[in-house]
Chain A
Amino acid sequence: MNLTSTEDQRHIQAAAAELLAARRMTAGARAVREEPEGHSPELWKEMTALGWPALVLPEEHGGLGAGFTDLCLLCEELGRHQIPSPLLATVACAALPLARHGSAQLCAQWLGAVAEGRTLTYVRAAPHGHWGTAGSTLTATPSGRGGFRLDGTALFVPYAGTADAMLVMAQVGDRTELTALLVEAGTPGLHRHRLDVVGNTPEYRVAFTDAPVPASRVVGTVGGGGAVAATAAALGTAATCAEMVGGAQGVLDMTVAYATTREQFGRPIGSFQAVQQHCADMAVDVLGARVSTYEAAWRLTRDLPAELAVSGAKAWVSERYERVCALAHQVHGAIGFTAEHDLPFFTRHATAAALSFGDADHHTGRVAEALGL
């Protein structure tokens, strides 16, 4: 067992940190907030040139064949610098599930395209917005020759506005089993509407009205989409945790730096014990978030049973990242409450990311179930 990172991993992370720090002014959450894409397409081109979307895809489809943990390291850096990017949705939530469950033809068509910079997203609309329950508010009605007509509305689809295709979880007729479909952006009857949300990720309402989907776009089997959804949820949850770990670390670093320089009563506020105790609690939260996320990512990389690890990580990370932000606000005082400050972007991220793929209560409940309680 060796939990230090490899030379390659350190290299990946350092190179990513360097690039993202340099692009923060033009591609950070503040800079792209008003942009129609919700992220910087220029930076995405740069990332593509550096092989980020290709990193963990299989080599036979133009990928670099690295382990899932390496993708998480990139997500961590994106979180640390608060750079919105379609990387997580594209690779963790769609391309990797496609690689695992999709037909040879779909993989050949889409994975190479992703490696070259096309983006994907994931559409999961369980009834009443519940996390992790069966069923979908999207219905696929068989329409001859194995194809479908898709109807219904899904909320909170990240980067749907620019995605070239979407991995959609639908139910066929009244059957609650899911069927996974890869729906291309140009499909007639597909409408995308940007939502105004708390977080920094552009989220959309996606509506389908009698949208035709050919039989060849089924990922896995008809009625077998549950497995695809499970893969997307597990990888998406772990990668989201990694992004949150980066965010939490960014907040801790920024808070320690501030507490060291801001003076009151003639001395740095970081020398006051109450402030030190807040910072120490943040350090506990961040380190715990990191180790649990890395363990979950490693289990997924190795294809080991991971439900407990993933849910445990998401529960801890969701709760603790929000606490880290709350403590950071306390230490920053009024300056952290201002629109000019970067801390609010992290707070927005923490609030929204905690809700993506299930909040702390949801995952704690899953752990309770797994423990047989």
Chain B
Amino acid sequence: MNREENVNREEAMDREEAMDWEETAQEREFRQEVRAFVRDRFPACYRPDPEAEHSLEPEDVWGYDWPADRRSADPERRAAARAWAAALAERGWIAPHLPVAYGGAGLSPMREFILREEMMRAEVPTVNGIGAMLLGPTLVEYGNDEQRAAHLPGIARGETVWAQGFSEPDAGSDLASLRTTAVREPAEASDAADAEVYRVNGQKVWTSSAQHADWLFVLVRTDPRAPKHKGISFLLIDATSPGITIRPLRDMRGADPFAEIHFDDVRVPVANRVGEENRGWYVAMAALGFERAGIGATIKFERVLERLITSLRSAQGQDFRRADTAVLRHEIAQRHIELRVQYAMARLTASRQTAGAVPGYEASVSQLLGAELHQRLARTGAKAFGPYAQLWQRDGAPMDAAFAHMRFDAVAATLLGGTTEIQRSVIATRGLGLPRS
């Protein structure tokens, strides 16, 4: 059969399959393959840490924080984390959408969706999603050949951990007002031949996992006189460069999910700039646009809701359950309905991306819905246990105090990755085409 016939047949098959929620035989097979892989290759000694707070990255599962585990004080945990990354890397499944040449698996959005879904269901950790899911696609799109060759393989093998240094103390929602500066200066004699550098000064804050990172991708101001969006550049910075100080920040739960970073005359080669000088804002917006279809959070919520229902029906759960359950019952059903919708949206997003459809605003809608659903779910789950919901200690608490902790995790859900107020503005202006304020 020649190529054209092939294409036509594929198209004909597409036509039959459209508006079809059932997986194709190949998709089912792939799902089985992922399940078998996790079963065979996930290191048995890599166990969830029962005392840990939940990582706040959407695709992280409870009990694991891979960038931290990789450098854990416990040598066994360190080895287990690295073994898991090595196993995933064999398949190209750390950064599955990257081309095979860079260590990815060249998976379609639909396959990647299935891979993530199965990893979440198996409750195994993701290897530095910030590098794989945010920076990876950005470099493919905006990086040059040298940058891709230098950085993508490290991401795909789980050898370099990346953190995203965008926010600053005075630049949160209004990110474009950022003040960290990068001033170009001629090469010093000590520098290699034509190695022109930027001298970077300033401060970043709330940088997730920065204290565990090898490299940072950072927005800096390269033209202080230009309008605020037009004087920003996107730099890749080695976290061990002289002049960088990284200090972990404690959150309201007592965990350290993020850090602040001070840059004090840090010298960064000009060759580490992604995209043109002063065009970094647009590169950053694209990076934020590589939004995750939201499958990670959805599966996590689904599982915790299932556990809640099972617990309420168990003997132990009956002891903790509040006496008046009419409203609770209704609320749990509402959460179930909302999760179904959220899951369907994530599938729709992946399916549309795979079909090459022009991306709509599904991903933003999905993120907004998911963030608020996280908070509602946490409240519903806590409510189920009446006064016992105040137990923060895991010991002797219903469901190991999962919901007491989740109520605090969920406080961050409507802030990180852009507040829900900002998400709504994005949907209104970019999605619905309303005029900007």
The residues of A with any CB-CB pair to B shorter than 8 Å are: 1-9, 69, 252, 256, 259-260, 267-268, 270-273, 275-277, 279-281, 283-284, 287-288, 291-292, 294-295, 298-299, 302, 308-309, 312, 315-316, 361, 364-365, 367-368, 371-373
Which applies to chain B's interface (DSSP): helix, strand, loop or mixed? helix
In the assembled complex, the Cα of A75 lies from the Cα of B254 at a distance in Å of: 53
* B23 on interface, CB distance cutoff 8 Å: yes
Assess whether A2 is in contact with B337, with CB atoms less than 8 Å apart.
no
Cβ B369 vs Cβ A270 within 8 A: no
A181 to B123, CA, bound (A): 53
Q: In the assembly, what is the distance between CA of A299 and CA of B19, in Å?
A: 11
Q: Do residues B421 and A371 form an inter-chain contact, with CB atoms below 8 A?
A: no
Q: Is there contact, CB below 8 Å, between A371 and B336?
A: yes
A sample of 15 inter-chain contacts (CB < 8 A) reads A3-B20, A4-B19, A6-B15, A271-B437, A276-B428, A277-B428, A281-B424, A283-B365, A292-B341, A312-B341, A361-B330, A364-B334, A367-B337, A368-B329, A373-B309
Question: Which stretch (B159-167, B231-239, B351-359) binds chain A?
Answer: B351-359
Instruction: Please give the distance in Å from A283's CB to the nearest CB on chain B.
Output: 5
In the assembled complex, the CB of B335 is this many whole angstroms from the nearest CB of chain A, namely 10
Chain B 325-359 interface 0/1 with A at a Cβ cutoff of 8 Å (1 = within): 00001101110111011001101100110110100
Q: Is the CB of A287 within 8 A of B362?
A: yes
The complex places the Cα of A294 from the Cα of B369 at a distance, in Å, of 19
Determine the residue in chain A with the shortest Cβ distance to B17: A2
CB neighbours (8 Å) of B24 from chain A are 1
The SS class assigned to the A binding surface is: helix
Q: Are B334 and A256 touching (Cβ within 8 A)?
A: no
Distance A292 CA – B344 CA, assembled complex (angstroms): 7
Of listed A271, A280, A294, A361, residue having the most chain B CB within 10 A: A280
Select the residue from A3, A256, A373 with max chain B CB neighbours within 10 A: A3
Asked if A7 and B423 make an inter-chain contact with CB atoms under 8 angstroms apart, the answer reads no
Q: Please determine whether B432 and A256 come into contact, CB atoms closer than 8 angstroms.
A: yes
Q: How far is the CB of B306 from chain A (nearest CB, A)?
A: 9
Q: Which residue of B lies closest to A293 (CB)?
A: B344
Interface-centre pick from A1, A275, A287, A295 (highest chain B CB count, 10 A): A1
CA distance A315 to B332 in the complex (A): 13
The smallest C-beta distance from B293 to any residue of chain A, in angstroms, reads: 12
* CB pair B425 A368 closer than 8 Å: no
A373 touches B19 (CB 8 A): no
The CA of A273 and the CA of B173, in the complex, are separated in Å by: 14
Which residues of chain B have C-beta atoms less than 8 A from A312's C-beta?
336-337, 340-341
Chain B residues, Cβ within 8 Å of A270:
428, 434-435
B375 to chain A, nearest CB (A): 15
- Residues of B contacting A368 with CB < 8 Å? 329-330, 332-333
B110 interface residue per 8 A CB criterion: yes
Chain B residue, CB-CB nearest to A369: B333
Closest CB-CB distance, B217 to chain A, in whole Å? 29
Name which of B20, B23, B344 has the most chain A CB atoms within 10 A of its CB.
Answer: B344
Contact A273 B427 (CB under 8 A): no
- For A309, the chain B residues whose CB sits under 8 A away are 340
Whether the Cβ atoms of B329 and A373 lie closer than 8 Å is yes
**Can you add 16 more A-B contacts, CB < 8 Å, to A288-B345, A364-B334?**
A3-B352, A270-B434, A271-B435, A276-B424, A276-B434, A277-B421, A277-B425, A283-B361, A284-B369, A284-B427, A292-B341, A295-B21, A295-B344, A312-B340, A316-B341, A361-B330
Which of B333, B345, B437 is the one whose CB lies under 8 Å from A371?
B333
Bound form: Cα–Cα A252–B427 in Å = 13
Taken residue by residue from 4 to 39, chain B's Cβ proximity to chain A (1 for < 8 Å, 0 otherwise) reads as 000000000011111111111001000000000000
Contact B355 A276 (CB under 8 A): no
**B334 to A315, Cβ gap below 8 A?**
yes
Give CA–CA (A39, B423) in the complex, Å.
42
B318 within 8 A of A: no
Q: Name the contact of B434 in the complex, choosing from A2, A256, A365 (C-beta under 8 A).
A: A256
**Quick check: B337 and A364 within 8 Å, CB to CB?**
yes
Contact B425 A371 (CB under 8 A): no
B334, B361, B423, most chain A CB atoms within 10 A: B334
Please pick, from B16, B338, B345, B428, the residue contacting A280 in the complex, using a CB distance under 8 A.
Answer: B428
Q: Are A280 and B423 in contact (CB under 8 A)?
A: yes
B71 within 8 A of A: no
Q: For the complex, what is the distance from the CA of A127 to the CA of B204, rounded to whole Å? A: 66
CB contact between A1 and one of B22, B333, B368, B431 (< 8 Å): that residue: B22
- Which B residues lie within 8 Å of A69 (CB)? 19
* B240 on the A face (CB < 8 A): no
Contact of A4 among B21, B357, B421, B423 (CB under 8 A): B357
Residues in chain A near residue B437, CB distance under 8 A: 271-273, 276
Q: Is B433 an interface residue (CB 8 A)?
A: yes
Which residue, B17, B333, B365, B368, has most C-beta atoms of chain A within 10 A?
A: B333
Q: Which residues of B contact A272 (CB under 8 A)?
A: 437
* Complex Cα gap A252–B361 (Å): 14
Smallest CB separation, A131 vs chain B (Å): 16
Q: Which residues, 391 to 437 on B, are CB-close (under 8 Å) to A?
A: 421, 423-425, 427-429, 431-437
B259 within 8 A of partner (CB) = no
Most buried by B among A2, A256, A260, A275: A2
Chain B neighbourhood of A279, CB < 8 A: 427-428, 432, 434
Query: A321–B368 Cα gap in the complex (Å)?
Result: 18
Quick one: given A270-B434, A373-B309, are A2 and B14 in contact (CB under 8 Å)? yes
Contact B351 A4 (CB under 8 A): yes
Smallest CB–CB gap between A7 and chain B, Å?
A: 6
B313 touches A372 (CB 8 A): yes
Chain A nearest CB, measured from B359 CB (Å)? 12
Interchain CB contact under 8 A, A5 and B421: no
The minimal Cβ–Cβ distance linking B49 to chain A, given in whole angstroms, is: 31
**CB <8 Å contact, B429 and A276:** yes
Are A364 and B333 within 8 A (Cβ)?
yes
Are B424 and A277 within 8 A (Cβ)? yes
- A259, B340: Cα distance in complex, Å: 31
- Contact yes or no, B433 A256, CB < 8 A: yes
User: Does B312 sit at the interface, judged by CB under 8 A?
Assistant: yes
